[in-house]
Amino acid sequence: MARTIIITGAARGIGKACAEAFLAAGWRVGIVGRTAETVAALADAHEAALALPCDVADEAQVDAAFDRALAEWGRIDALFNNAGVSALGATIDEVSVEDWRRCIDINVTGSFICARAAFARMRAQDPQGGRIINNGSISAHVPRWGSAPYTASKHAITGLTRSISLDGRPYNIACGQIDIGNALTDMAAKMTKGVPQADGRIAVEPVMDVAHVASSVLHMASLPLEANVQFMTVMATNMPFIGRG
């Protein structure tokens, strides 16, 4: 029987690249996204894809989406908690509370709600267990300039990952985190034109093909539950991360 995974933020960018990689590898994939049209467009193009339009920050919508996947497949083997947003570069005094709340609501609360839904169903299914992979960021380690909401959200993801890993042990639920740096998607295209550095310069940064992220997530998800990639960093080799700041 084909393995199953729900991918949030799957209609574009990193999520879409991962969804297509899993589908190519023979998985059944739940496509989660807020825009029903883009979710349906991707799902309709693949027989093994299931459209699950929902807002990850809405508990009722998430539960309904996970219940639909469970009813369709019989079990949920994995979740890639990928949905997230960034905040425009600004020092903390110039960040609006509205922008802060939006970033935390989607990146942290949304990840919690989806992990909570996956964990409950993985715990209850027979055979018990599954895997949750959280999308962190290299910002889970060190910040970019003017990134307080995003950086705080990704540090929170690391705490969430560690807590789920510990809580999941009795139920055969593994949890790991992938920290990604400068994968070339629409969101990261600005890196090729120049972005602010810690010393005030504007500089072009190296990027990598998003396919390397997709293959990394697929590797993490494909391991037997007795093995786990707890944390993985995959990044453009020469980007400013080691020694950032």
Residues with catalytic annotation?
150
Residue 5 phi/psi, 5-degree rounding, is -145, 140
Measured over all CA atoms, what is the biggest interatomic distance in the chain, rounded to whole angstroms?
55
Burial 101-140 (b: 16+ CB within 10 A, else e): eebbbbbbbbbbbbbbbbbebbbebeeebbbbbbbbbbbb
Decide if 202 contacts 217 (C-beta within 8 A): no
Identity of residue 130: G
Name the residue among 97, 88, 80 with its Cα closest to residue 161.
Answer: 80
Residue whose tokens read 């469970």: 70
CA–CA dist 132, 161 (Å, integer)? 9
* Dihedral angle of Cα 19, 22, 27, 29, to the nearest 10 degrees: -10
Q: What is the DSSP letter of 156?
A: H
Determine how many CB atoms are found less than 10 A away from the CB of residue 237.
Answer: 9
